């Protein structure tokens, strides 16, 4: 039943119509570096497929414009996303000149804007439906499976970024593994250092201000500057301390990037630990003391469980931050997906930039959804641990 216009739907509908009719859906280039020629959505698909898809996008825009049931709009936006991605593969196949192995077809600005507007509509429906954490995780698994199936099927094999992947598949997975190691490993070390430091800061008030102010100052240092500042001390350690170089410590490479990510991660860990411990009810501690618990027993059995949602929030902040910042590690030889980003920038090959940037965005997106759901689980009434 229509009940007037949907305010957020007006913007989404305008973006969909603009990307469908005013911007190129694909760009056909003579090779991976030279500029190409944009092709509209209507002209990108053969046998009238472009006209049919443009009509479908107008229908989707109208559905988002009016106040249809949220579940209906969610299904429509999901189906539209899938259709647009499949259409990109078909357009790339049709746009490649026969027998030309150098030509490339890249997604155009119309595709990116269409993908953004439909994704925005999808996320808006998810937020308004207030889905349970379990249902959001199920959606994440289904979406990941569908997207993985699309890539595995070869539908997108003619897209330029996929050709870059085929040429660098071994290096891609090696750098992906290094990127994950940098992000996850630095987060783990930051928690090993930051968790006890946060407990100490909670217990000693004068130390709290000094520690948090110092960590705040570290956060203000630009990442590339911090990488540079670490080159000299780590280079000295590698030169003068026996065995340091053998375990990978050096002035450039993974070591300074790893140390910098740990330093950046300490503030969220320490601050959330202190904040979580401060929110533990006094009554819970008093009851534990009355039961004869020691300080360590109270910390482990009472305070940490009640602080768990705050610690999960710190994990979310640190992991998403580190996934993004690990990209810059490539500038000092630290590896990761930034290798493709900076190689692409140096060669003016934007498809190579996308090969590094898109997986990084995907990793951050998946981590955010997963950890948001876990935080909601921990705060749910009736859960074993809950916030206060």
pLDDT in tens, 42-83: 998 888 889 999 999 999 998 888 877 888 888 999 999 999
Instruction: Report the candidate in 148, 78, 151 with the shortest Cα–Cα distance to residue 118.
Output: 78
Residue 384 within any structural domain of the chain: no
Cα 235 from Cα 224, distance rounded (Å): 17
- Total number of residues shown for the chain: 388
**Pair 146, 57 in one domain:** yes
**Pair 226, 318 in one domain:** yes
Tokens linked to 226: 């911090």
Q: Is residue 109 predicted with pLDDT exceeding 50?
A: yes
Q: 261 and 322 in contact (C-beta within 8 Å)?
A: yes
Residue 385 within any structural domain of the chain: no
As beta bridge partners, residue 104 has: 29
**Pair 146, 227 in one domain:** no
**Pair 222, 333 in one domain:** yes
Please report which confidence band the pLDDT of residue 340 belongs to, taking 50, 70 and 90 as the band edges: very high
Residue 321 within any structural domain of the chain: yes
Last residue of a domain, one of 166, 194, 222: 166
**Pair 173, 318 in one domain:** yes
Which bin fits 48, alpha (ψ -120 to 50), beta or left (φ > 0)? left
Average pLDDT over residues 233-250: 77
**pLDDT greater at residue 297 or residue 4:** 297
Q: 40 and 110 in contact (C-beta within 8 Å)?
A: yes
**Pair 338, 193 in one domain:** yes
Tokens linked to 328: 């810059």
Q: Report the CATH number that the domain containing residue 375 is assigned in CATH.
A: 1.10.3720.10
Domain count, the chain: 2
**Pair 191, 77 in one domain:** no
Cα 357 from Cα 151, distance rounded (Å): 17
Residue 186 within any structural domain of the chain: yes
**pLDDT greater at residue 22 or residue 250:** 22
**Pair 352, 253 in one domain:** yes
**Pair 161, 248 in one domain:** no
In tens, the pLDDT along 64-75 reads 888 778 888 889
The pLDDT value recorded for residue 3 is 52
**Pair 154, 241 in one domain:** no
**Pair 210, 339 in one domain:** yes
Q: Is residue 383 predicted with pLDDT exceeding 60?
A: no
**Pair 13, 106 in one domain:** yes
Last residue of a domain, one of 145, 166, 187: 166
């Amino acid at each position: 039943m229509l009940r007037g216009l949907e305010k957020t739907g007006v913007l989404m509908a305008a973006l969909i119509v603009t990307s469908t009719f005013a911007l190129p859906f694909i760009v056909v280039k003579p090779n991976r570096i030279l500029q190409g020629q944009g092709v509209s959505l209507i002209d990108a698909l053969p046998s009238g497929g472009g006209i049919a898809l443009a009509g479908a996008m107008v229908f989707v825009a109208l559905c988002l414009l009016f106040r249809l049931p949220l579940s209906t709009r969610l299904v429509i936006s999901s189906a539209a996303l899938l259709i647009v991605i499949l259409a990109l593969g078909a357009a790339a196949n049709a746009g490649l000149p026969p027998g030309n192995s150098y030509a490339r077809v890249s997604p155009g600005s119309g595709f990116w804007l269409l993908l953004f507007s439909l994704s925005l509509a999808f996320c808006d429906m998810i937020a308004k439906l207030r889905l349970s954490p379990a249902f959001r995780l199920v959606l994440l698994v289904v979406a990941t499976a569908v997207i993985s199936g699309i890539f595995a099927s070869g539908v997108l094999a003619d897209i330029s970024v996929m050709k870059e992947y085929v040429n660098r598949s071994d290096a891609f997975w090696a750098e992906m593994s290094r990127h994950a190691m940098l992000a996850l490993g630095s987060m783990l070390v930051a928690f090993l250092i930051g968790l006890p430091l946060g407990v100490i800061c909670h217990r000693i008030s004068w130390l709290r201000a000094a520690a948090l102010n110092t960590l705040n100052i570290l956060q203000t240092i630009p990442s590339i500057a911090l990488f540079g500042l670490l080159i000299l001390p780590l280079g000295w350690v590698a030169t003068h301390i026996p065995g340091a170089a053998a375990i990978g410590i050096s002035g450039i490479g993974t070591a300074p990037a790893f140390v910098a990510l740990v330093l950046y991660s300490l503030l969220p860990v320490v601050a959330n630990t202190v904040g979580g411990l401060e929110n533990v009810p006094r009554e819970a501690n008093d009851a534990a003391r009355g039961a004869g618990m020691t300080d360590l027993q109270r910390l482990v059995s009472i305070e940490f469980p009640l602080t768990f949602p705050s610690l999960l929030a710190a994990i979310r902040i640190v992991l998403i931050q580190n996934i993004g910042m690990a990209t810059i590690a490539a500038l000092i030889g630290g590896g990761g997906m930034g290798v493709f980003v900076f190689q692409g920038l140096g060669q003016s090959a934007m498809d190579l930039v996308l090969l590094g940037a898109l997986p990084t965005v995907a990793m951050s997106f998946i981590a955010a959804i997963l950890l948001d759901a876990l935080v909601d689980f921990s705060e749910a009434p009736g859960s074993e641990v809950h916030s206060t």
